[in-house]
């Protein structure tokens, strides 16, 4: 799974907010604590540092959605965080993302805050993000 593969799937999956470029993935993967799960069709990029974990992004290519891939990856990341004495996992999700919110809520994440005008949308606007947290 190369940064180019990740950027390609991300661009195919993210239709509402700006997708991340190959160079953004290259830079992210060099950062401390990064964990990449899945494959080029469906992947999760997370980070664990100390007792805090974050889901940075999850994407399933539209040709492979609704087959349980993202749920399996999220469960894998949660399981890994549990083995590393993590106290909580947080993430940001677009307030209008009606596919991702049930994915997270069904695994026990709950709303912990809101960031107004956080994401750039593909039509040049801004959209808020909900901050979700899963406490162990």
Ligand X SMILES: CC(C)(COP(=O)(O)OP(=O)(O)OC[C@H]1O[C@@H](n2cnc3c(N)ncnc32)[C@H](O)[C@@H]1OP(=O)(O)O)[C@@H](O)C(=O)NCCC(=O)NCCS
Residues labelled catalytic: 92, 104
Q: Which two tokens stand for residue 101?
A: 């919110």
CA atoms of 84 and 129, how far apart (whole Å):
27
Contact with ligand X (CB under 6 A) among 58, 81, 89, 134? 58
Query: Which burial class, exposed, middle or buried, applies to 30 when counting CB atoms under 10 A from its CB (0-12, 13-18, 19+)?
Result: exposed
Q: Could you tell me the smallest distance in angstroms from the CB atom of residue 128 to ligand X?
A: 13
Site for ligand X contains 48 (CB under 6 A): no
Contact with ligand X (CB under 6 A) among 98, 116, 123, 124? 98
Number of alpha carbons in the 13 Å side-chain half-sphere of residue 65: 14
* N-to-C CA span, the chain: 30
Nearer to ligand X, 85 or 120 (CB): 120
> With CB under 6 A as the contact rule, which of the stretches 31-39, 45-53, 101-109, 114-122 interacts with ligand X?
101-109
Contact with ligand X (CB under 6 A) among 14, 22, 26, 133? 14
């Amino acid at each position: 799974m190369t940064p180019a593969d990740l950027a390609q799937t991300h661009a195919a999956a993210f239709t509402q907010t700006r997708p991340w470029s190959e160079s953004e993935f290259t830079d992210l993967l060099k950062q401390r604590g990064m964990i990449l799960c899945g494959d080029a069709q469906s992947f999760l990029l997370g980070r664990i540092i100390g007792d805090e974990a974050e889901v940075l992004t999850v994407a399933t290519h539209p040709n492979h959605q609704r087959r349980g891939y993202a749920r399996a990856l999220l469960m894998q990341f949660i399981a890994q965080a549990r083995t590393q004495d993590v106290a909580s996992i947080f993430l940001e999700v677009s307030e209008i993302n009606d596919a991702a919110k049930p994915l997270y809520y069904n695994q026990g994440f709950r709303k912990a805050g809101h960031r107004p005008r956080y994401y750039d949308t593909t039509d040049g606007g801004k959209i808020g993000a909900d901050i979700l947290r899963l406490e162990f």
